[in-house]
Amino acid sequence: MHQFEVVTRARNEMVEITDRVNSAVRASGVREGLCVVYCPHTTAAITVNENADPDVVHDLLLWYSRMVPQQQPGFRHAEGNSDSHIKATLVGPSVTLLVHDGAPVLGRWQGVFFCEFDGPRSRTVQVQVVGS
C-alpha cells in the first residue's frame, strides 16, 4: 500500500491527486489490475471527474454547499460539521480504477480528486494496487 498526505487550505476544496495516484501505480510495478484510492476520513472523500476545466470543480462545490448548507436547523452533531459528514457520504470514501499497461485508466478529461469538506486540514490518502 502507498500512502501520501494532502494539505487543504479551505473548508470545502477539491484537490487533484491524479499525478500522485499515477506515481503510486507505477511504484507498485503492477501492469494489469485494479487500483483503489481510499480516504480514511469521515469528512472527506475521493472522486473522479473532469480536470480540464476548473469551473467543474467550482460548480460541484457550489452544488454541494447549496444542497447541504453548513448551518441546518435540526443538525445535532456537537462538532458543528454535520454537513461535512453528509457531503463525504454523498461522494464516497474511495474509487476503484482499472490499471492497464502500468497506469490507471482514466478518460481524456478525467482526474482523481481528494474532496475536503471540513478543512483546512492535513489528510491522508491510501492507494492499494493489485494485479500482475
DSSP assignment string, the chain: -EEEEEE--SSSEEEE-HHHHHHHHHHHT-SSEEEEEE---TTEEEEEEE-S-HHHHHHHHHHHHHHS-SS-TT---TTS-HHHHHHHHHH-SEEEEEEETTEE---TTEEEEEEESS-S-EEEEEEEEEE-
pLDDT at 56 over 90: yes
Quick one: pLDDT at residue 15?
A: 98
pLDDT at 47 over 90: yes
Reported as a pLDDT band with limits 50, 70 and 90, residue 78 is confident
pLDDT at 12 over 90: yes
Domain chopping of the chain, boundaries: 2-131
For the whole prediction, is pTM greater than 0.85? Answer: yes
pLDDT in tens, 100-111: 999 999 999 999
Reported as a pLDDT band with limits 50, 70 and 90, residue 72 is confident
Provide mean pLDDT across the span 56-62.
Answer: 98
Architecture of domain 2-131: Sandwich (2.60)
Provide mean pLDDT across the span 60-73.
Answer: 95
Reported as a pLDDT band with limits 50, 70 and 90, residue 95 is very high
